Every structure is written in structure tokens, then in C-alpha cells.
């Protein structure tokens, strides 16, 4: 009996396609036909799914795509269940794998492809983050959404004030709306700070972040909200890949040599949270500024150089979190000459 057959006999391979209201589930076992079921995407549905997996009387490997709030509670429930390991996968990676297996695009076909992924691909079990880290991420993302709304209301108010035809009632309504958004953002930032202060590890990391040039309290809350839920076992390269700031090269033979671009196959919230600190750091941190100018002297576009600075910032944050020591640009750029 082959090694793969032994693993197959001892394990249930499960794939789950997650939608807002339902879970399409597929299970593969050796010498048994493919089983497919559907459960509600609710606390009761999660319990029923776990009970059904336990009926197979074998350890289960479950693969599902990361679909934000729709998959988070399910992943948490599966991670806490006995005899079940769960992998939360990048949707782009799963889509490429699924395209190699079939042409149809249905929930049942997606679940079957995920079950096949559990069997064929290296399985990396997901670890549930601390609840405080998840709560901070939710608050920080809500604040970021309100910030977009604040900018939109500011623009609308500016446009209204520029026109003599705008009724006073519209101007007053826009001002009230703007003030309301500002109060909500301030209230949420206080809640985020209280949450950070309630946890020793997050409080230490927050202090390290605001000690870095270019990172103020608002940016520190956004960054910590995205980084706190990550597994402590992740490497800095995995952090960079998670952020989507890793370079993607496009070369083939002697004719295709496209410029490298960032993959963007990662957490857009983390990329956005790094943008403003990178912009400020190239002005006020002599080490980041020297690195930025070096890249421009090598004929890199300003945005390319700024992305490289953001990637370096992420490396620096990883270093101070691991060491517990304050940021020191000399360690990050030991070869650079600082004027």
C-alpha cells in the first residue's frame, strides 16, 4: 500500500464553499463515493456540520476559502472541534487549482475542488487568532471605512459651498453629517485604544509602533489591527506575501521580460495601512529617506520606490515585534551612508 493510500484511509478530506447563507460541503474518502451536503452558515449549521464530519470516525482535513466575515466564524468553530484541522486558503490560489480540474463554476463543484485541494496539496493548518486581535481588526477596518466616508462628505461640502445655488439646508445637513462621522471615528478610536490597553502583548506592540518615524496613533491602530491576528509562527517573507507587497516577475524565454510588479494577492487593508507611514517616513526618517533616494537614483519610479519603502517598513515592524526592541534604522540599512 502506498504512503498516499495510507493517508487517504486514515483521513477525511473535506472542502467547503462558503456563501453568506449556506455551506456547500464535499467529502472524499478512499473506496467511497464523493459525499456532498449543504448546511446553513450559522452557529447551528456549524454544529451540524461538525457532527456530520465526526460520524465518519476519522480525522478530518477541511479546506475553505478566506471570505471575510462569512468564513471566519466557521473557521473558528472547526478549529475548536476535536479531530478536525482546517486550512483557510487564498481564493486566488484555490481558483487556479480549481481551473485545472473542471470547467463548471457552481458551489458544489467549488466544494469538490476544495476537497481535492485538501488531498493533493500541502496542508497548512490554520490557527485561530486571539479574539482581542480580531476585535481590533474589526474596529480598525470600520474606522478606515468611516475615513473614506469622511473624505467623501468633505468633498461634497466643498462642492456645495462653491455654488451659490446650493440651499442653506443642504449645507447645514452636510455639516451635521460630517460632524457625526468625526464623532463616530473618535469614539471608535477610544474603543480601539481601550482594547489595546487591555492586552499586554498588544500594548507593548502599540508602543513599539508609535516609536517608529512615520507611524502615529491612527496608523499604529490600523497596522496593529491587521497584524495582531496573524500567526506568531509566520516568517517575515510570509508577512510580505500576506500583504501582497511581494514582487511578481513576468518573464518567459527571450521575448517576455515585463517589469516586476507587486502581486497584490494579499491583504489590501494592510497595504493601505502601510502607505501613509511610508510616505511620511521618506521625509522624516533619514534611513528610509536615503533608501528611497537610492532607488530613485537607480531610475525607479516614485511609486515603485515608495512600495519598496513600505515593504522595508513591514520588515522593520516584524523585527521590532520579534525582538521587543525599539526601531533602529541602522540595523535595517547597515550599508547605507546617511547624510
pLDDT digits (tens, 9 = 90+) for 78-119: 999 999 999 998 787 777 777 776 656 687 888 888 888 888
262: confidence class by pLDDT, cuts 50, 70, 90? low
Q: Give the separation between CA 274 and CA 296, rounded to whole angstroms.
A: 20
pTM, full prediction = 0.82
**298 class by beta-carbon count within 10 Å (0-12 exposed, 13-18 middle, 19+ buried):** exposed
252: confidence class by pLDDT, cuts 50, 70, 90? very low
- Res 263 pLDDT > 70: no
Residue 35 · residue 27 · CB < 8 Å = yes
Residue 39 · residue 60 · CB < 8 Å = no
Domain extent listing, the chain: 9-120, 131-198, 227-251+260-332
6: confidence class by pLDDT, cuts 50, 70, 90? very low
The pLDDT value recorded for residue 220 is 97
Per-residue pLDDT, averaged over 283-289, amounts to 93
The pLDDT value recorded for residue 245 is 87
Q: In Å, how far are 241, 278, 290 from 295, measured between CA atoms?
A: 21, 14, 9
Q: How far is CA 61 from the centre of its chain?
A: 23
- Among the listed residues 49, 28, 54, the one whose alpha carbon sits nearest the alpha carbon of residue 38: 49
**275 class by beta-carbon count within 10 Å (0-12 exposed, 13-18 middle, 19+ buried):** middle
- Among the listed residues 150, 328, 129, 93, the one whose alpha carbon sits nearest the alpha carbon of residue 226: 129
> What phi-psi label fits residue 68: left (phi over 0), alpha (psi between -120 and 50 degrees) or beta?
left
11: confidence class by pLDDT, cuts 50, 70, 90? confident
The pLDDT value recorded for residue 3 is 43
3-class SS of residue 193: helix
The pLDDT value recorded for residue 231 is 87
Q: Which residue has the cell 467623501?
A: 152
What mean pLDDT, rounded, does the chain reach?
A: 88
- Res 251 pLDDT > 50: no
Least confident of 22-36, 41-55, 177-191: 22-36
- Res 243 pLDDT > 70: yes
- Res 275 pLDDT > 90: yes
Least confident of 128-132, 246-250, 272-276: 246-250
What fold characterizes domain 9-120? Nucleotidyltransferase; domain 5 (3.30.420)
Residue 124 · residue 86 · CB < 8 Å = no
Q: Give the separation between CA 330 and CA 336, rounded to whole angstroms.
A: 8
Per-residue pLDDT, averaged over 259-278, amounts to 82
The pLDDT value recorded for residue 66 is 85
Q: Is the model more confident about 159 or about 32?
A: 159
Q: Give the separation between CA 174 and CA 149, rounded to whole angstroms.
A: 12
pLDDT digits (tens, 9 = 90+) for 183-238: 999 999 999 999 999 999 999 999 999 999 999 999 999 999 999 999 888 899 99
- Among the listed residues 208, 244, 213, 241, the one whose alpha carbon sits nearest the alpha carbon of residue 224: 208
22: confidence class by pLDDT, cuts 50, 70, 90? very high
Q: Is the model more confident about 32 or about 12?
A: 12
- Res 260 pLDDT > 50: yes
Host H or E run for residue 118: helix 107-120
The pLDDT value recorded for residue 261 is 62
Per-residue pLDDT, averaged over 117-122, amounts to 86
Sheet with 22-28, strands from edge to edge, namely 35-40, 22-28, 12-18, 60-65, 84-89
- Among the listed residues 35, 89, 90, the one whose alpha carbon sits nearest the alpha carbon of residue 58: 35
Amino acid at each position: 500500500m502506498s504512503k498516499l493510500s495510507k493517508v487517504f484511509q486514515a483521513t477525511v478530506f473535506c472542502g467547503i464553499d462558503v456563501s453568506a447563507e449556506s455551506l456547500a460541503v464535499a467529502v472524499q474518502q478512499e473506496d467511497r463515493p464523493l459525499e456532498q451536503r449543504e448546511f446553513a452558515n450559522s452557529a447551528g449549521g456549524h454544529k451540524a456540520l461538525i457532527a456530520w464530519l465526526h460520524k465518519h470516525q476519522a480525522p478530518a482535513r477541511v479546506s475553505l476559502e478566506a471570505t471575510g466575515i462569512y468564513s471566519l466564524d466557521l473557521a473558528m468553530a472547526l478549529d475548536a472541534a476535536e479531530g478536525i484541522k482546517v486550512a483557510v486558503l487564498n481564493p486566488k490560489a484555490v481558483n487556479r487549482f480549481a481551473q485545472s480540474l473542471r470547467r463548471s463554476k457552481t458551489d458544489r463543484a467549488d466544494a469538490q475542488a476544495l476537497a481535492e485541494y485538501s488531498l493533493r496539496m500541502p496542508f497548512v493548518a490554520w490557527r485561530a487568532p486571539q479574539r482581542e486581535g480580531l476585535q481590533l481588526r474589526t474596529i480598525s477596518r470600520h474606522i478606515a471605512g468611516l475615513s473614506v466616508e469622511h473624505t467623501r462628505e468633505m468633498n461634497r461640502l466643498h462642492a456645495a459651498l462653491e455654488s451659490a445655488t446650493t440651499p442653506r439646508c443642504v449645507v447645514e445637513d452636510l455639516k451635521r453629517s460630517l460632524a457625526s462621522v468625526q464623532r463616530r471615528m473618535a469614539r471608535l478610536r477610544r474603543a480601539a485604544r481601550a482594547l489595546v490597553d487591555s492586552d499586554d502583548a498588544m500594548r507593548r506592540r502599540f508602543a513599539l509602533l508609535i516609536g517608529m518615524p512615520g507611524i502615529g496613533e491612527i496608523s499604529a491602530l490600523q497596522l496593529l489591527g491587521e497584524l495582531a491576528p496573524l500567526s506568531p509562527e509566520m516568517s517575515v517573507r510570509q508577512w510580505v506575501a500576506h500583504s501582497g507587497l511581494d514582487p511578481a516577475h513576468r518573464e518567459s524565454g527571450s521575448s517576455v521580460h515585463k517589469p516586476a510588479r507587486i502581486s497584490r494577492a494579499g491583504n489590501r487593508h494592510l497595504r493601505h495601512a502601510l502607505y501613509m507611514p511610508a510616505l511620511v517616513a521618506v521625509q522624516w526618517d533619514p534611513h528610509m529617506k536615503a533608501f528611497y533616494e537610492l532607488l530613485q537614483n537607480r531610475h525607479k519610479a516614485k511609486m515603485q520606490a515608495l512600495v519598496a519603502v513600505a515593504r522595508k517598513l513591514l520588515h522593520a515592524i516584524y523585527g521590532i515585534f520579534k525582538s521587543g526592541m525599539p526601531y533602529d534604522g541602522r540595523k535595517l540599512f547597515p550599508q547605507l551612508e546617511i547624510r
